[in-house]
Structure 1
C-alpha cells in the first residue's frame, strides 16, 4: 500500500497502542467471525451500525477497510444507522487530521470520498439507514458500535451475525476545548482495534 505519510504515522501510532484486557474477548468474537468466513472462502461483509451513522460507525467503516487492505485481506466495509443525519463534520475533520484525504459531494447529508492512497478506490461515506441500498442486504455481520442501537435494534434483517463492539461517543465533547482531542482519541482507539483484529486473521 502506498499510504499517505501522515496516515502511515497515525497507523504506526495506532498499532503501538495496547489493547485493554477487557476489550480482547469482545474483539475475539469479531476475529472469529472474519476468520470463519475466510476459511470457508466466503465474502466478508461488515456493516458497522450506530444510531445516527455519523461518528463511531463511520470511523469503524473507514478504519476496518484500511486495516484489511493494509494486511491484504479482502472485505466489504459498510456502515448504517437507525436514523439518517450526516457524517458529522467534526468526525470528517478528525479523519483528515489522521491523514486521510476526503472530498465532499453535495450538502445536507453529503457523500464523502475518503482516500487512504492515491492508488486505490475511495471509501464512500454518508449517513444512511443500515438497510440502505448502498449496503449489502444479507450475509453480513452487524457490528454494533453504540449501546443505543445495540439495545434498540434487537433484530437486524439480513445479518448472519451480530457482534457488539461498542465505543464511547465523542459527541459529548462537541463545542468544548477538548472536542478535537476527543474525536481523535476515539478515532485512534477504533484504528488500534481494527488493526489488532486484522493482524490476527490468517489468509486462506
Structure 2
C-alpha cells in the first residue's frame, strides 16, 4: 500500500507520540475485542459513535481504517451519531492538512470520499445516525468517542461490544485563533492511539 507522502509523514509522527498509561488502559478493551475477532477469523466491524457524527467519530472512522490498513488488518470502519448534522468543515480541513485527498458530493450533509492511497478504495464520510443503512447492523463494536453519546445511548442494537474511548471535543475552540491547532491536535491523538491499537494485534 502506497500512502500519500504527506500522510505517511504524519503517520510516522503519530507513531512516535507517547501514549499515557491511563489511555493504554482505556484502549485495551478495543485491542482485546479486535484480537478475539482475528483469532476467531471473523469479520471486523467497528462503528465509532459520537453525538453529531461530525468531528471525533469522523476522525476515528478515517484513522481507524488507515491504521488497520497500515498494519495489514482488514476492517470495516463506520461512524454514526444520535443526530444528523454534517462532517464539520473544520474537521474536513484538518484531514486535508494531514495529506488525505478528498472529493465532495452534495450539499448540506455532503458525502466526502476520503482517499489515503491510490491503491485503496476511499473512505466514505458523512453524518448519519449510528444505525444508518450504510453501517453494519450486527456483530460490530460500538466505540463511544464522546461522553454525551456514551451516557445517552445505553443500548446500541446489534453491537456485540460497547467500548468507551472518549476524546475531548475540538468544537470548544471554534472561531478562536487556536481552532486549526486544536483540530489537528485531536486528529493526531486519535491517529496515534489507533495506530497503537492495531500495532498490538497479532495476526
TM-score (norm 1): 0.99
Match of 1:161 in 2: 161
Measured in 2, the distance between the counterparts of 1:158 and 1:147 equals: 21
- Give the total of aligned pairs: 203
Match of 2:4 in 1: 4
Match of 1:108 in 2: 108
CA RMSD after TM alignment: 0.4
- Structure 1 stretches of 4+ with a deviation exceeding 2 A read none
Measured in 2, the distance between the counterparts of 1:101 and 1:194 equals: 20
Question: Unmatched 5+ residue regions in structure 2?
Answer: none
Q: How does 1:45-56 map to 2 (within 5 A)?
A: 45-56=45-56
Measured in 2, the distance between the counterparts of 1:39 and 1:21 equals: 26
2:26 matched to 1:42?
no
2:193 matched to 1:193?
yes
Match of 1:32 in 2: 32
Measured in 1, the distance between the counterparts of 2:13 and 2:95 equals: 14
Question: Unmatched 5+ residue regions in structure 1?
Answer: none
State the Cα distance separating 1:119 from its structure 2 match: 1.1
Match of 1:119 in 2: 119
Secondary structure at the aligned position of 2:83 is classed as coil
Secondary structure at the aligned position of 1:194 is classed as helix
TM-score (norm 2): 0.99
